[in-house]
Amino acid sequence: MIVSNVSLSGCAGVNSALCAAAAGEGHLRGGSDRSTLTPTGNLVVAVCLGIIGTLGLMNNLLVLVLFCRFKILRSPINLLLINISISDLLVCVLGTPFSFAASTQGRWLIGEGGCVWYGFANSLFGIVSLISLAVLSYERYSTMVAPTEADSSNYQKVYLGITLSWVYSLIWTVPPLFGWSHYGPEGPGTTCSVDWTAKTANSVSYIICLFVFCLIVPFLVIVYCYGKLLCAIRQLLQRQRTGKRTDRARQYRTFSAATLKTPRCGGEGGKRWGRDGDEMEKVEVSSVGTHSGWEEGDSECLYSDSAERSGLLLREAL
């Protein structure tokens, strides 16, 4: 095993981050670093990674195939979903197989360069997905609150959002390649990522910036945009309910007014008269009741009690 002649005791006067990185690189080059998990633990991790990788590969490929096959799905908003799908697919193809193989063997298999590549690629594609979700939430929010109808043929904003997600991710994943923190083994030693455990100012400052700008900021954007969308939908539903109650009340008022202005004449075969006194049609009014003094042909009329019933219904509606 080729390891630099820097012992832990000799690191007292040297940058501890560089010393730890050198030690880690030496272990990776030798390929003798074993996983800290038991064989059973490695097997469980390998099975989980295999399931996740297979499902992720199949689902994201299906999304891409459907998008390419059906033109109706090729809308600007769906391009953001395709960007997320592509980044997830790249993780399944360029990242998961290496960690799966390492878990089956209980150690990292592809050396120092492979570890750096794995850490960089997974960080890059993961941040792209997260930023794309934030851009998607903002796009939906701006479409909902826009005073004009959304233009389904305008791809300029979407292309800008996709470019932003990749450039923003590169800005925060390239620095470890040039000395601001570094990529190395993590956890049980079968995966690689940014060195989260280093206590040096170099590593801590990068981790804080990565946490704030690549997790907290996108998360807050997503929460704000979807929160506003939920409030807008709730207000819309309340307006619809109010409109329905108003329409129902207007119908009851119309019915009540029409009933009050329409007299009914007693007796079988009585006549209903219009507003101008013209005879409209014969109606059977025996259901209203027969007054003891009524006889067929009498001209006395009686208003129905429907107005009172409609008034009660109106009060219930309001």
The tens place of each residue's pLDDT in the chain, 318 residues long, gives 333 333 333 443 434 444 444 444 444 544 445 677 888 888 999 999 999 999 999 999 999 999 999 888 888 889 999 999 999 999 999 999 999 999 998 888 999 999 999 999 999 999 999 999 999 999 888 887 766 555 667 788 899 999 999 999 999 999 999 999 999 998 888 899 998 888 899 999 999 999 999 999 999 999 999 998 888 888 888 888 876 666 666 665 665 555 555 555 544 444 444 444 444 444 444 444 444 444 444 444 444 444 455 445 444 544
The reported pLDDT for the residue numbered 99 is 92
Q: How far is CA 250 from the centre of its chain?
A: 40
Domains detected in the chain: 9-237 (1.20.1070.10), 242-285+305-317 (no CATH)
Asked if 183 contacts 150 with a C-beta cutoff of 8 angstroms, the reply is no
The reported pLDDT for the residue numbered 241 is 80
> Is the entire prediction scored with pTM above 0.75?
no
**Partners of 184 in beta bridges:** 193
**Partners of 238 in beta bridges:** none
The reported pLDDT for the residue numbered 77 is 87
Query: What span, in angstroms and rounded, lies between the C-alpha atoms of 212 and 229?
Result: 24
The reported pLDDT for the residue numbered 149 is 59
List b or e across 138-166, with b for residues whose CB sees 16 or more CB atoms inside 10 angstroms. Answer: bbbbeeeeeeeeeeeeeeeebeebbeebb
Q: Which long-range contacts (CB under 8 A, 24 or more apart) does 199-204 make?
A: 199/16, 200/15, 200/16, 200/17, 202/17, 203/17
Q: What are the strands, taking DSSP E only, across 232-270?
A: 264-265
The reported pLDDT for the residue numbered 130 is 94
The reported pLDDT for the residue numbered 273 is 45
The reported pLDDT for the residue numbered 33 is 58
- CA distances for 68 relative to 61, 64, 133, 153, angstroms: 11, 6, 21, 17
Residue from 118, 64, 67 nearest 89 by CA: 64
Residue from 139, 170, 134 nearest 157 by CA: 139
